[in-house]
Amino acid sequence: MTEEKIKKLLYDRDPAALAALQSEYTRYCAAIAGGILADSADVEEVVADVWMQVWTSIPPNRPEHLRLYVGRIARNLALNRLEYHSAGKRAALPVEELESATPDRSLERQVLRDALEAFLRQQKEAYRQMFLRRYWYGDSVEEIAARFGCSKTKVTGVLFRLRRKLRDHLEKEDIHVGTK
């Protein structure tokens, strides 16, 4: 079923939308959550929670790209689950690597999103994919190296340079970057 048909079912509050969502996006959501969470039971719970959150948020939300919307929900739920399980402990999230290159959270999200998209469009396709695999999907450096057929050292170097370039790009856009 197409994304547009699924969105129409959601807007119409048709219960068939849930089955369509599950059919189209279960593997996608499980891959995102699995990149963040180690426990398969947690991944399954996150994926199940995604459907409920999509159902309750559309409408009133009307996402332009349903796949990205569903993926963002899966990622946020997985991060929340990880934070819950690691309460009182320091969790090793790949996103923490970006803290020194990104501004304070008080910045309006749309401004940051636009700047990040512009930055990623300027990068080589392979580097952009490495960045997304690490910081969106939560893949390990080892998984990225295997996917791209290169060494872990190369991936680590590419990600380091991309974080530095991102910081420079944000500063050129007059987006204040913290000194973490």
Query: Domain limits of the chain?
Result: 3-85, 94-172
Q: pLDDT tens across 133-166, in order? A: 888 777 889 989 999 999 999 999 999 999 889 8
Residue 4: partners with Cβ closer than 8 Å, 6 or more residues away: none
Which amino acid, residue 74?
A
From CA 16, how far away is CA 23, in angstroms rounded? 11
Cis amide prior to 63 (ω within 30 degrees): no
CATH of domain 3-85: 1.10.1740.10
Name the CATH topology of 94-172. Answer: Arc Repressor Mutant, subunit A (1.10.10)
Block residue for tokens 């398969």 = 40
Q: pLDDT digits over 53-98, tens only? A: 999 998 888 898 999 999 999 998 998 888 776 654 444 445 555 5
- Which helix (H) or strand (E) element contains residue 30? helix 16-34
pTM greater than 0.85: no
Q: Tens digit of pLDDT for each residue in 108-129?
A: 566 777 788 888 889 999 999 9
